[in-house]
Protein backbone atom coordinates (compact mmCIF):
# COMPACT_ATOMS: atom_id res chain seq x y z
CA UNK A 1 0.00 0.00 0.00
CA UNK A 2 1.35 3.40 -0.98
CA UNK A 3 1.66 6.40 1.31
CA UNK A 4 -1.05 8.26 -0.60
CA UNK A 5 -3.53 5.43 -0.08
CA UNK A 6 -2.73 5.22 3.63
CA UNK A 7 -3.08 9.00 3.94
CA UNK A 8 -6.42 8.88 2.14
CA UNK A 9 -7.74 6.18 4.49
CA UNK A 10 -6.49 7.90 7.66
CA UNK A 11 -7.75 11.35 6.63
CA UNK A 12 -11.13 9.92 5.59
CA UNK A 13 -11.48 8.23 9.00
CA UNK A 14 -10.66 11.49 10.81
CA UNK A 15 -13.16 13.36 8.64
CA UNK A 16 -15.89 10.90 9.58
CA UNK A 17 -14.98 11.12 13.27
CA UNK A 18 -15.12 14.93 13.18
CA UNK A 19 -18.45 14.86 11.32
CA UNK A 20 -19.89 12.40 13.85
CA UNK A 21 -18.73 14.55 16.77
CA UNK A 22 -20.41 17.57 15.16
CA UNK A 23 -23.64 15.62 14.64
CA UNK A 24 -23.56 14.33 18.23
CA UNK A 25 -23.11 17.85 19.58
CA UNK A 26 -26.09 19.07 17.54
CA UNK A 27 -28.24 16.17 18.76
CA UNK A 28 -27.31 16.62 22.42
CA UNK A 29 -27.68 20.40 22.19
CA UNK A 30 -31.06 20.07 20.48
CA UNK A 31 -32.32 17.61 23.07
CA UNK A 32 -31.09 19.75 25.98
CA UNK A 33 -32.68 22.82 24.40
CA UNK A 34 -35.99 21.04 23.89
CA UNK A 35 -36.02 19.77 27.49
CA UNK A 36 -35.24 23.28 28.79
CA UNK A 37 -37.95 24.71 26.54
CA UNK A 38 -40.54 22.25 27.87
CA UNK A 39 -39.47 22.89 31.49
CA UNK A 40 -39.83 26.64 30.94
CA UNK A 41 -43.48 26.15 30.03
CA UNK A 42 -42.83 26.65 26.30
CA UNK A 43 -41.49 30.15 26.93
CA UNK A 44 -39.65 31.08 23.72
CA UNK A 45 -38.39 34.35 25.22
CA UNK A 46 -35.84 32.70 27.53
CA UNK A 47 -32.42 33.97 26.42
CA UNK A 48 -30.50 31.25 28.24
CA UNK A 49 -32.24 28.54 26.21
CA UNK A 50 -31.49 30.30 22.93
CA UNK A 51 -27.88 30.95 23.95
CA UNK A 52 -27.31 27.35 24.94
CA UNK A 53 -28.57 26.08 21.60
CA UNK A 54 -26.64 28.69 19.62
CA UNK A 55 -23.45 27.71 21.46
CA UNK A 56 -24.08 24.04 20.66
CA UNK A 57 -24.58 24.86 16.98
CA UNK A 58 -21.45 27.02 16.85
CA UNK A 59 -19.39 24.35 18.58
CA UNK A 60 -20.65 21.63 16.25
CA UNK A 61 -19.88 23.77 13.21
CA UNK A 62 -16.27 24.01 14.36
CA UNK A 63 -15.94 20.22 14.14
CA UNK A 64 -17.72 20.04 10.81
CA UNK A 65 -15.54 22.84 9.45
CA UNK A 66 -12.43 20.99 10.62
CA UNK A 67 -13.63 17.94 8.69
CA UNK A 68 -14.05 19.99 5.53
CA UNK A 69 -10.59 21.51 5.91
CA UNK A 70 -9.14 18.01 6.26
CA UNK A 71 -11.06 16.98 3.14
CA UNK A 72 -8.91 19.44 1.15
CA UNK A 73 -5.95 17.10 1.73
CA UNK A 74 -7.58 14.28 -0.26
CA UNK A 75 -9.32 16.37 -2.93
CA UNK A 76 -8.07 15.41 -6.37
CA UNK A 77 -9.76 17.72 -8.87
CA UNK A 78 -10.23 21.48 -9.08
CA UNK A 79 -14.03 21.11 -9.36
CA UNK A 80 -14.04 19.19 -6.06
CA UNK A 81 -11.95 21.98 -4.58
CA UNK A 82 -14.50 24.60 -5.72
CA UNK A 83 -17.34 22.68 -4.09
CA UNK A 84 -15.29 22.19 -0.95
CA UNK A 85 -14.37 25.88 -0.87
CA UNK A 86 -18.04 26.83 -1.14
CA UNK A 87 -18.95 24.46 1.70
CA UNK A 88 -16.17 25.83 3.89
CA UNK A 89 -17.24 29.40 3.11
CA UNK A 90 -20.88 28.67 3.96
CA UNK A 91 -19.97 26.95 7.22
CA UNK A 92 -17.64 29.80 8.15
CA UNK A 93 -20.41 32.34 7.44
CA UNK A 94 -22.83 30.30 9.57
CA UNK A 95 -20.31 30.24 12.39
CA UNK A 96 -19.87 34.03 12.24
CA UNK A 97 -23.65 34.59 12.17
CA UNK A 98 -24.19 32.29 15.15
CA UNK A 99 -21.39 33.96 17.11
CA UNK A 100 -22.95 37.36 16.33
CA UNK A 101 -26.32 36.09 17.54
CA UNK A 102 -24.73 34.78 20.75
CA UNK A 103 -23.12 38.17 21.34
CA UNK A 104 -26.39 39.97 20.62
CA UNK A 105 -28.44 37.68 22.91
CA UNK A 106 -25.84 37.96 25.70
CA UNK A 107 -25.93 41.74 25.49
CA UNK A 108 -29.75 41.76 25.52
CA UNK A 109 -29.81 39.49 28.55
CA UNK A 110 -27.33 41.73 30.38
CA UNK A 111 -29.37 44.85 29.58
CA UNK A 112 -32.58 43.19 30.78
CA UNK A 113 -30.92 42.19 34.05
CA UNK A 114 -29.66 45.73 34.57
CA UNK A 115 -33.15 47.07 33.84
CA UNK A 116 -34.67 44.68 36.40
CA UNK A 117 -32.12 45.72 39.00
CA UNK A 118 -32.91 49.39 38.42
CA UNK A 119 -36.64 48.72 38.73
CA UNK A 120 -36.09 46.82 41.98
CA UNK A 121 -34.01 49.67 43.43
CA UNK A 122 -36.64 52.22 42.43
CA UNK A 123 -39.46 50.21 43.97
CA UNK A 124 -37.66 50.08 47.36
Which tens digit of pLDDT belongs to each residue from 4-39? 899 999 999 999 999 999 999 999 999 999 999 999
Name the band, by pLDDT with cuts 50, 70 and 90, for residue 93: very high
pTM, two decimals, is: 0.78
- Identify the domain containing residue 99 by its residue range: 3-123
Looking at residue 70, its pLDDT comes to 92
**Helical axes 47-74 vs 78-123, angle rounded to 10°:** 160
Average model confidence (pLDDT) across the chain: 91
- Of all residues in the chain, what percent carry a pLDDT higher than 90? 55
Whether pLDDT at 72 is above 80: yes
Whether pLDDT at 124 is above 80: no
Spatial CB neighbours of 114, under 8 Å, sequence gap ≥ 6: none
Looking at residue 113, its pLDDT comes to 86
Looking at residue 46, its pLDDT comes to 81
Domain count for the chain: 1
Whether pLDDT at 64 is above 90: yes
Sign of the CA dihedral with 88 first, then 91, 96, and 97 last:
positive
Amino acid sequence: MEFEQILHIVVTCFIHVLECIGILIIMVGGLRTFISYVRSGFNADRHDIKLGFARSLAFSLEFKLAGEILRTVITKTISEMYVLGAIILLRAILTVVIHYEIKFETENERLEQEQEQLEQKQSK
